[in-house]
């Protein structure tokens, strides 16, 4: 047996190669190198094998690889039986050809004077040897089409647009072949096999099996009918798989069984459920939205006012007098309209049975120093067995997560109504870009068991793409797109959800997003019990991986989504305000965190001003050089345009989210160590004020308003309650609870230790209470005038102006005015019955500043009533001199001046 070994390092992942392997335990050290897709992987696990044949479907094979296991377990090498897998003439381990339509196979191969054949084996017996390919039941000759792939195929599969086209005989019945092991092979003129590979099948599956009929369980008074859109496809071996129904609406604990649940049954619906649409808080325009992002467990896990059985779960939202409930009602009264909940569907990473959870005694953790690594060591030791995970590990999209429920085998949903009664609408975080499991064996694999190779996006070699994390889905395929749209309609109709936030939206096709938006918008109160026109959708429009630059079709990236009314997160304003990016140096400063470099400060200011004008690509402003430019002509440090939207509701302005450090932690890290905690609190508020008073939709991470800390953890997805603790009693902000977990933070520990060890960094209860009040004031200011929530790009261009621009600007100061019309005066229409003119001044400087402008002279401006009455004595010192048009603003302060009508 020959062996040609190659190794690949890929944490926590494993390649499913449809062969048997012989494992030999070796004591010699092996160096690892990155290998091409399809390379074999080292394995780890609590096992010791001598010479034993191991199937890749066995448990040890599936466990993956972790570099920390080397010293204890030794190394295992995989020897491939190459005679049955590959030769120098090709490989059946790869699927480098594409059956793109019923009549065409695409393959990047040169046939010349030779010939090309499609081969099929009903028993998965195809093998490639030095003598050629053996084991076929069917062998069909393919003819090359010299015209290449037709335009519709090139458009659907842009990553293979230059492949050669081979015509399938028109009389061939393809359907039975799709249940076989398939390959294509080329042969020289002397009949010897020159190349061979497997086939990727999504194209022909879409051609032959696209289906618009009912799926899942359908209920009538007499019976339940089950419709499953399942195909049996070869995975190069005969497999028997067990999977839940992807259209399941109920699951037993941990998804062991699909439950038949009729969500339309009166026995399941809470009282008055069908009339909930009439209880929803009013939303006149998406421009009126403001979003508060919250993790279900964080909301109540540490709330002592919540019954222990309810803490961290759905039912905590049904309580009216908990600290969290009182806080949410306070935010709702101030202006927050939507609560965005992190994933609530069935995800992996948390056992649904609470009695299986492990935990660390908080009293033990509290004894360690604030800069100790002991806390994180104890937390990470049980992090995969506790009750905490953000939930971005999708297993089934259409069923609520059982671990949050009081009964993991029951029906869930009435708690959503409670949030509506707080005056809040509900956004669900949906993760359609990837799935946690794949392959025929993984307990968390569903879609890849049902139609192998279809639902998950593959690379040119036929292996699953992992750019989003793991197991990227392929919304460019018909039934994947349909499942996404159907799932959204299910949550909207059956659970009365008011909006959806799309994780890594850029990995979904633009067409899919538009279909989803249109489908949701078509829902009506009369027919569906839902007003679809009030459902807002937004997401992360990042453009990377295999979809970058429309590599798999026109994707829903920032620069493609404009014109749809779908929102996308504006990382430009975040990075300009705070400095750097999540991928840059942690100490790189921004506009509010102390940036002193004149040119960079001025450019950051331009980026922020564009963001405050809703990131509109056609908004015209004067830049730091004194030139009139459009938002799309202001460039990021990477050279891409800052602005990309066509209307204000297409931008989500934010400075922090669940990803990366909290706002307070970023401020504490980037600002000079010698400044006081009071100054850091002001900077936290300053950053929030820019988002709160900008045009577009403001987005706030839960805890921004209470100076929330995760002890500098940059990725707390699995860091447990200890690092993610939210205290709505305002007693602590969770700063200094130990060095954050090693996995994502260890390189920065030397920066973190002196900050965490310094007691002066930690805010007191008085600081937290002041922060809540200041945040509420900002929201009340935003909702005091429709001028902060303009609905069209034209209205923003006509009414919003930035002063203090050009080369003679006062550094570190943004001055924005918003003008309203006057009754009976030609020009602007009148929108605000109370204020005719508003000026917002952001002073990021550590000193008081004065700014004078002739265009702002002789107005009857006065400090906003909310700030006049504020408990923040510093902001009350802001002044305006009408004769000089001069404003004086205290250090690190945002002041709002208004011109009341009739004064």
- The angle formed by the CA atoms of residues 618, 622 and 627, to the nearest 5 degrees, is 100
Task: Encode 521-541: b = buried (16+ Cβ within 10 Å), e = exposed.
Answer: eebeeeeebbbbebbbbbbbb
Distance from the first to the final alpha carbon of the chain? 94
CB 838 within 8 A of CB 695: no
Of the candidates 503, 661, 721, 866, the residue annotated as catalytic is 503
Q: What is the DSSP annotation of 127-143?
A: EEETTEEE--SEEEEEE
Report how far residue 838's alpha carbon sits from residue 799's, in angstroms, rounded to the nearest whole number.
Answer: 10
> In a 3-state reduction of DSSP, which class is residue 113?
coil
Report how far residue 574's alpha carbon sits from residue 570's, in angstroms, rounded to the nearest whole number.
Answer: 7
What's the per-residue H, E or C state across 23-46?
EEEECCCCCCCCCCCCCEECCCCC
Query: What are the backbone angles phi and psi of residue 106, rounded to the nearest 5°?
Result: -105, 135
CB 431 within 8 A of CB 343: yes
- To the nearest 10°, report the CA torsion of 259, 264, 265, 267: 90
Look up residue 396 and give its two tokens: 């089934």
Look up residue 386 and give its two tokens: 């506790």
Strand partners, 140: 118
What's the per-residue H, E or C state across 155-168?
HHCHHHCCCEEEEC
| Contacting residues for 423 by C-beta, under 8 A, at least 6 apart | 281, 329, 332, 333
Report how far residue 881's alpha carbon sits from residue 888's, in angstroms, rounded to the nearest whole number.
Answer: 8
CB 293 within 8 A of CB 342: yes
Tokens 């045009």, residue located: 695
The helices-and-strands tally (H runs, E runs) of the chain is 24, 39
**Does the active-site annotation cover 540?**
yes
CB 823 within 8 A of CB 728: no
CB 435 within 8 A of CB 451: no
Strands 291-294 and 224-227: unpaired
Alpha-helix residue ranges (DSSP H) falling in 99-243 = 151-156, 174-177, 202-209
Of the candidates 206, 352, 540, 661, the residue annotated as catalytic is 540
Element (H, E) at 374: helix 374-381
- The angle formed by the CA atoms of residues 490, 495 and 497, to the nearest 5 degrees, is 90
**Does the active-site annotation cover 661?**
no
Report how far residue 536's alpha carbon sits from residue 515's, in angstroms, rounded to the nearest whole number.
Answer: 14
Closest to 893 measured CA to CA, from 880, 876, 881? 876
Look up residue 228 and give its two tokens: 């499953």
Element (H, E) at 416: helix 415-421
Strand partners, 504: none
Look up residue 531 and give its two tokens: 């007003």
CB 183 within 8 A of CB 197: yes
Report how far residue 379's alpha carbon sits from residue 65's, in angstroms, rounded to the nearest whole number.
Answer: 21
Measuring CA to CA, how many Å separate 128 from each of 89, 121, 124?
A: 9, 13, 12
Strand partners, 425: 338
795: number of Cβ within 10 Å: 20
CB 107 within 8 A of CB 97: yes
Active-site residue set: 503, 540
């Amino acid at each position: 047996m020959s062996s040609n070994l190659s190794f690949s390092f890929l944490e926590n992942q494993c390649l499913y190669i449809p062969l048997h392997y012989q494992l030999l335990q070796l004591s010699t050290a092996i160096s690892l190198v990155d290998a091409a897709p399809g390379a074999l992987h080292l394995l780890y696990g609590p096992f010791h094998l001598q010479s034993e044949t191991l199937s890749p479907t066995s448990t040890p094979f599936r466990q993956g690889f972790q570099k920390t296991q080397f010293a204890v377990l030794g190394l295992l090498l995989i020897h491939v039986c190459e005679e049955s897998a590959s030769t120098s003439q090709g490989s059946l381990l790869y699927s480098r050809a594409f059956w793109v339509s019923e009549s065409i196979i695409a393959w990047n191969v040169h046939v010349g004077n030779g010939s090309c054949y499609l081969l099929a084996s009903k028993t998965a017996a195809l093998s490639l040897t030095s003598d050629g390919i053996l084991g076929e039941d069917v062998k069909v000759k393919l003819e090359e089409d010299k015209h290449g792939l037709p335009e519709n195929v090139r458009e659907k599969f842009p990553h293979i647009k230059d492949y050669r086209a081979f015509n399938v005989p028109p009389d061939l019945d393809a359907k039975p072949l799709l249940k076989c092991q398939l390959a294509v092979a080329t042969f020289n003129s002397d009949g010897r096999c020159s190349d061979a590979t497997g086939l990727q099948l999504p194209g022909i599956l879409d051609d032959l099996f696209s289906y618009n009929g009912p799926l899942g369980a359908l209920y009538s008074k007499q019976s339940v009918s089950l419709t499953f859109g399942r195909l049996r496809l070869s995975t190069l071996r005969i497999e028997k798989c067990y999977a839940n129904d992807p259209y399941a609406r109920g699951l037993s604990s941990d998804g062991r069984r699909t439950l038949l649940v009729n969500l339309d049954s009166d026995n399941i619906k809470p009282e008055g459920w069908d009339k909930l649409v009439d209880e929803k808080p009013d939303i006149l325009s998406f421009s009126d939205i403001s979003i508060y992002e919250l993790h279900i467990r964080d909301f109540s896990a540490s709330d002592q006012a919540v019954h222990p059985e309810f803490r961290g779960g759905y039912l905590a939202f049904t309580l009216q007098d908990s600290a969290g409930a009182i806080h949410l009602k306070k935010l709702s009264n101030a202006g927050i309209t939507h609560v965005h909940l992190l994933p609530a569907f069935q995800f992996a990473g948390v056992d649904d049975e609470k009695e299986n959870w492990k935990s660390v005694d908080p009293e033990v953790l509290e004894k360690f120093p604030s800069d100790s690594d002991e806390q994180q060591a104890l937390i990470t030791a049980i992090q995969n067995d506790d009750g905490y995970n953000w939930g971005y590990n999708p297993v089934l999209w259409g069923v609520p997560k059982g671990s949050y429920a009081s009964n993991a085998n029951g029906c869930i949903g009435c708690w959503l109504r409670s949030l509506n009664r707080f005056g809040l609408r509900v956004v669900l975080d949906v993760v359609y870009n990837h799935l946690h499991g794949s392959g025929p064996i993984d307990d968390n694999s569903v879609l890849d068991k049902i139609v192998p190779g279809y639902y998950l996006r593959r690379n040119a070699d036929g292996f699953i793409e992992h750019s989003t994390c793991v197991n990227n889905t392929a919304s460019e395929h018909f039934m994947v797109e349909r499942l996404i749209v159907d799932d959204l309609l299910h949550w909207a109709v059956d659970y009365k959800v008011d909006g959806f936030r799309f994780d890594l939206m850029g990995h979904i096709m633009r067409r899919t997003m538009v279909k989803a938006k249109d489908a949701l918008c078509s829902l009506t109160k009369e027919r569906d019990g839902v007003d679809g026109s009030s459902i807002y959708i937004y997401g992360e429009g990042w453009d990377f991986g295999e979809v970058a630059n429309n590599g798999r079709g026109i994707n829903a990236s920032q620069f493609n989504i404009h014109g749809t009314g779908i929102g996308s997160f504006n990382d430009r304003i975040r990075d300009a305000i705070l400095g750097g990016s999540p991928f840059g140096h942690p100490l790189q400063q921004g506009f509010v965190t102390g940036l002193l470099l004149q040119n960079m400060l001025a450019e950051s200011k331009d980026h922020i001003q564009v963001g405050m004008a809703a990131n509109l690509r056609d908004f015209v402003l004067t830049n730091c050089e004194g030139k009139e430019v459009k938002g799309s002509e202001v460039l990021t440090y990477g050279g891409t345009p800052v602005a990309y939207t066509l209307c204000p509701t297409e931008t989500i302005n934010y400075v922090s989210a669940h990803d990366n450090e909290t706002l307070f932690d970023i401020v504490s890290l980037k600002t000079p160590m010698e400044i006081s905690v009071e100054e850091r609190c002001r900077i936290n508020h300053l950053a929030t004020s820019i988002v709160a008073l900008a045009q577009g939709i403001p987005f706030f991470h839960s805890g921004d308003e209470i100076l929330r800390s995760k002890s500098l953890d940059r990725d707390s997805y699995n860091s447990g309650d200890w690092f993610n603790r939210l205290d709505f009693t305002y007693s602590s902000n969770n700063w200094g609870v130990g060095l954050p977990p090693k996995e994502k933070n260890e390189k920065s520990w030397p920066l973190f230790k002196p900050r965490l060890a310094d007691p002066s960094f930690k805010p007191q209860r008085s600081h937290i209470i002041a922060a809540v009040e200041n945040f509420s004031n900002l929201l009340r200011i935003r909702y005091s005038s429709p001028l902060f929530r303009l609905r069209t790009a034209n209205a923003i261009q006509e009414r919003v102006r930035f002063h203090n621009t050009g080369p003679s600007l006062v550094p570190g100061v943004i001055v924005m005015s918003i003008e309203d019309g006057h009754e009976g005066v030609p020009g602007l229409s009148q929108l605000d019955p109370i204020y005719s003119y508003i000026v917002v001044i952001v002073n990021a400087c550590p000193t008081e500043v004065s700014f004078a402008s002739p265009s702002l002279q002789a107005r009857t401006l006065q400090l906003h009533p909310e700030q006049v009455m504020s408990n923040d004595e510093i902001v009350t010192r802001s002044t305006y001199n009408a004769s000089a048009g001069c404003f004086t603003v205290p250090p690190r302060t945002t002041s709002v001046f208004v011109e009341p009508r009739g004064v």
